[in-house]
């Protein structure tokens, strides 16, 4: 019985994995690695797990704006929350599946290809902007940060954080595996049997 409980606790501990911080740039400085033509329209609507966001369109094209990209793999966590702390409110963030390939071709200038979501606003009232996306497990996510005004992003400070969750309730543990469920059932059965034996002995 004691061995069974030990094994059960060990199995539960292996599944109790904390929510993953998939990326945290810390205090970083914007440095463009490429150029996009125009930028996503800030329509005030953030992408959320419960509401898929349509591509918001492009404004300011074809003026070139610098961008810097970060790439992650979400592993087994399909629910991602992305936040950008940008005190100067001079940057904007979005997310793309597999690749980000801007091109000087109207009307969308490549910004619609593989688009997943964005926060809808630059940093509001001193608080980080954030948005949520849901993607298949083990996907490659490309996160471009672009300057809002052409040539005005160089040297701006920011921090980008990407967190991964197992479901839309911000769960920090995955669903119990079949082995864990089996062992939990066995432990519960053993406890019930032990209680029945104790009750019979008390009645004798």
User: Residue 198 domain-assigned?
Assistant: no
Q: Is the pTM of this model over 0.95?
A: no
Number of domains in the chain: 1
User: Residue 199 domain-assigned?
Assistant: no
User: Residue 52 domain-assigned?
Assistant: yes
Q: What is the CATH number of the domain that holds 114?
A: 2.60.120
Convert the pLDDT of each residue in 27-71 to its tens digit: 999 999 999 999 999 999 999 998 889 999 999 999 999 999 999
pLDDT-derived band at 120, boundaries 50, 70, 90: very high
User: Residue 172 domain-assigned?
Assistant: no
Q: Could you list the residue range(s) of the whole structural domain that residue 118 is in?
A: 20-165
Average pLDDT score, the chain: 83
Q: Residue 125: what pLDDT?
A: 75
**Which pair of tokens denotes residue 149?**
């005004």
Q: How far apart are CA 167 and CA 80, in angstroms?
A: 9
Structural Rg of the chain based on CA atoms: 24
Q: Which residues pair with 69 in a beta bridge?
A: 144
User: Residue 170 domain-assigned?
Assistant: no
User: Residue 202 domain-assigned?
Assistant: no
Q: How far apart are CA 172 and CA 69, in angstroms?
A: 27
| Residues whose CB falls within 8 Å of the CB of residue 129, separated by 6 or more in sequence, listed in order | 46, 83, 84, 86, 93, 119, 121, 122, 123
Place of tokens 């991964």: 164
Convert the pLDDT of each residue in 169-191 to its tens digit: 987 666 554 334 434 444 444 44
User: Residue 9 domain-assigned?
Assistant: no
């Amino acid at each position: 019985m004691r061995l069974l409980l030990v094994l059960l606790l060990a199995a539960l501990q292996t599944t109790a994995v904390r929510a993953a911080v998939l990326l945290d740039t810390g205090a970083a400085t914007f440095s463009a690695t490429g150029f996009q033509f125009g930028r996503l329209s800030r329509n005030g609507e953030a992408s959320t797990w419960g509401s898929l966001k349509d591509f918001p369109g492009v404004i300011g094209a074809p003026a070139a704006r610098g961008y810097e990209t970060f790439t992650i793999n979400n592993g087994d966590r399909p629910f991602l929350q992305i936040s950008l702390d940008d005190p100067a409110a001079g940057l904007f963030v979005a997310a793309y599946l597999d690749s980000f390939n801007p091109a000087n071709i109207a009307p969308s200038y490549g910004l619609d290809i593989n688009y997943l979501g964005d926060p809808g606003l630059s940093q509001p009232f001193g608080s980080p902007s954030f948005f949520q996306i849901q993607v298949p497990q083990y996907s490659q996510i490309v996160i471009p940060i672009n300057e809002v005004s052409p040539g005005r992003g160089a040297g701006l400070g920011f921090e980008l954080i990407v967190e991964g969750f197992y479901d839309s309730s911000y769960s920090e543990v995955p669903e119990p595996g079949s082995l864990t469920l089996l062992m939990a059932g066995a432990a519960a059965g053993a406890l019930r049997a032990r209680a029945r034996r104790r009750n019979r002995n008390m009645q004798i």
